[in-house]
Amino acid sequence: MKTIITDLDGTLLDHGTLHPHTIKTLKKFQKNGRLILASGRSLKNMKLYVEQLEMTSFQNGALIGLNGLERYDFKTGTYHKEQGISAKEVKKIARSFRFNSLLIMVDLPDQEMKINTVFSFLLRFAAIKRLRQRSRLKTYSNQNEPIDKIIVLFYIGTKRHLDAIRRQFKAYQILRIGRFWIEIMPQGIDKQIQIQYFMKQYAISSHDLYIFGDGENDRNMLSLTQHSYAPSSALEEIKRTAKHICPPPAKEGVARVIESLFD
């Protein structure tokens, strides 16, 4: 069985939207193939796309959420989640980005919260509605429960500073997802590891694996197969990692590749 694994934001989704033709193409593929969505989003925040693609009806796919922190198998109905980041460590890491980013967000199991930086007041004047909405998130302060990941929005520091933070917090991965978007996860959490779990579980050969991704959190999984694709809008280093380049999400690149291969 052929298996397609695709990242969401920046790869399959066009500014958070699945185009109708992409939905049709992926639904057709699932009749004889396996679809796995592998995202930095939580499984909860992938629900809309699962419904649009009718993945529960096909019962042969899977979800990988929070960059590999959690997974769900539609065939067996099993869910697994790794340990997140302690509240104490969250506050230490956040202090390192206080003077060179617009906003820090933390993902908890049931909600998103914010940690303000010295520049966060600027969000009130943002032209993008979604950014203004994030300025109204509740503030993370006295919570003690572990969080799933840290998101740093509009990082404006130098590469040298970021490398210094990486050396300071060696127990964590500091991943550049987009030009101004950083995600921080515990070491050992990776989409690639969860994909290898499914490869072993269902005897998926690398020859039957087609993988799409655009950010640093996709780099390792792209190395699992010769059928790896990065959108033309991806980070340059990710385009160098992938074996092939496809059109960007606005031009439904993933769907176009699937059609060219399997129709």
Closest to 61 (Cα-Cα) out of 8, 4, 11, 16? 4
Task: Give the pLDDT band (50/70/90) at residue 132.
Answer: confident
Q: Which residue has the higher pLDDT, 142 or 202?
A: 202
What pLDDT is attached to residue 115? 92
What's the mean pLDDT in 22-29? 97
Task: Give the pLDDT band (50/70/90) at residue 39.
Answer: very high
State the average pLDDT for the chain. Answer: 92
What's the mean pLDDT in 15-34? 96
Closest to 250 (Cα-Cα) out of 14, 3, 5, 10? 14
What pLDDT is attached to residue 256? 97
Distance CA 121, CA 78 (A): 42
What's the mean pLDDT in 101-127? 88
What pLDDT is attached to residue 157? 79
Distance CA 21, CA 188 (A): 36
What pLDDT is attached to residue 126? 75
Instruction: Indicate left, alpha or beta for 41 from its phi (over 0: left) and psi (-120 to 50: alpha).
Output: beta
Q: What is the pLDDT of residues 182-211, one digit of tens each?
A: 999 999 999 999 999 999 999 999 999 999
Contact 222, 231 (CB under 8 A): no
Q: What is the pLDDT of residues 49-106, one digit of tens each?
A: 999 999 999 999 999 999 999 999 999 999 999 989 998 899 899 999 999 899 999 9
**Quick one: what percent of the chain has pLDDT higher than 90?**
73
Contact 74, 55 (CB under 8 A): yes
Beta pairing partners, 116: 103
Q: What is the pLDDT of residues 212-245, one digit of tens each?
A: 999 999 999 999 999 999 999 999 999 999 999 9
Name all contacts of 75-82 with Cβ < 8 Å and 24+ positions apart: 79/43, 82/186, 82/188, 82/189
pTM: 0.89
What pLDDT is attached to residue 62? 98
What's the mean pLDDT in 145-174? 88
Neighbouring CB atoms inside 10 A of 105's CB total: 18
Q: Is the pLDDT of residue 123 over 90?
A: no
What's the mean pLDDT in 139-148? 83
